[in-house]
Structure formats: C-alpha cells, structure tokens
Amino acid sequence: MTTESRDSMKRTGCGAGTAEAGGKTLRLVALDLACIRGGRRVFLGLSFAVGAGEALVVTGPNGAGKSSLLRLVAGLVRIGDGRLSLEGGDAELSIAEQAHYLGHQDALKLSLSVRENLLFWTSFLGGVAAAAEGALSAVGLADLAALPAAYLSAGQRRRLSLARLIAVKRPLWLLDEPTSALDAAAQAMLADLMGRHLAGGGLILAATHGPLGLDGAKELRLGQGGE
C-alpha cells in the first residue's frame, strides 16, 4: 500500500525544531512495513514518504491500524518487517528522539498544576523551562497555569498536551486524533499550529476520522485490520 500525490528520551533539544539537520532536508520513509500485534497481522506491505513541509493524514475505519502505525513510528511498537528511516535526520538519535508523539491519552499528572505538568514534559524532552510559559500562552492556558490539572476540562487537558509540541522543538509530529475533545476555536488554534510547523519545514503524520484543516495534506487510507 502506498500514499498518493521507547518513548522520546531526553537527548533532544538540538536544532530538531527544523526539518534540516546539517544542511540535509528531512524525509520520513517507510518501505513495506508490517505490524504484528498479539499474533495478528495489523497491516502488511505499507509504504509511504513524508517530506519537509508535508503532512500525511492516515485515515480508515476503526481497527484499520492507524494508531498502531503511529506507535510504530514512535518506537512504541516493534516493526514486524520492512524499513523505516528519517532521511537527513540526526544519525545519533532515533526517530522517536526527533519526534513528538501525541496519543489518545493526555499523559498528565492530575495533582500537578498546569505549569508543573508542562515543565515536567519540557525537562523530560530536553527543552528549556523558559519555553513553557510561551507554550501555555499559545494554547490559551496561561491564565490557568497555577490550577491543578484535575480541574481542567477534557478540551483543556488536550490543549495542555498540545503545548508540549511548542515548548520543545522537534521536526516530526505524530498526532493520533489530535482534535479529540477540542471545540471549534481550539481546533482552529491547532490547525494554525500545524500550519506554522509545516511552514517551518516540519513533518506531520496524523491519524484522524475527521478533517484537520490542513490544506494540501496527503492521505494514506488503511483497510481492515486491528489497532
């Protein structure tokens, strides 16, 4: 199948915010990927490429393997077969260390404040604390910075998770249903953030059931299988 037209560690903070490393333009390339989970084939023979300034939207019915694909690229699921590479990336870093992965869960500690949650992730991902405040402002949570995350709505928690993308610059964004729980205004904010990331030469691989507001995005549609 082709396209038409580990957890992230602390080693990044390097100019990973652009799609160029050492003068090379980044390109995420998958060739004949296979994913097997629980002894069951999720997908087989999957190939695609995403270049600097490009977004690839992964679509398909529930159980088609969209989430599994993003987790595979993020290094959270083992590659069953095939090859996955980030051409032009930092050879000393894994793909996961040059990517942000935003999954279904918001990965927040509810007893910590909004600011403390983002500061934790900023430090863990190798960023600098000063960037956290600007990221909170960008997602509209600056006025709630001292509030425990337990008191946030589902949409606000999602926005706090999105703030990680801004606080720590990494070229590859892996987004699994990023608009989940977001209202219309927050979806527009996300579309603007994604547009800015692409304009700066970033790459986006996103799984979704609905529109993301990304003009010119390519689509990779998966068939039957299992997530």
Domain containing 63 — which CATH number? 3.40.50.300
Could you tell me if residue 75 is inside a domain? Answer: yes
pLDDT tens digits, 110-132: 999 999 999 999 999 999 999 99
Residues in the chain predicted with pLDDT less than 50, given as ranges, are 1-19, 21-22, 225-227
* Token representation of residue 137: 């402002």
Could you tell me if residue 40 is inside a domain? Answer: yes
> Which domain covers residue 100, as residue numbers?
20-107+164-221
Cα–Cα distance for residue pair 24/11, rounded to 1 Å = 20
CA atoms within 13 A on the CB side of 108: 28
Could you tell me if residue 175 is inside a domain? Answer: yes
* Token representation of residue 53: 């300034």
Q: Cβ neighbours of residue 18 under 8 Å, at least 6 residues apart?
A: 169, 171, 200, 201, 202
Q: In the prediction, which pLDDT does 38 show?
A: 83
Q: 18 exposed, middle or buried (CB, 10 Å; 0-12, 13-18, 19+)?
A: middle
Q: In the prediction, which pLDDT does 122 show?
A: 96
List beta partners, residue 81. Answer: 34
Could you tell me if residue 4 is inside a domain? Answer: no
Per the structure, the count of domains in the chain is: 1
Q: In the prediction, which pLDDT does 24 show?
A: 64
* Token representation of residue 48: 């695609």
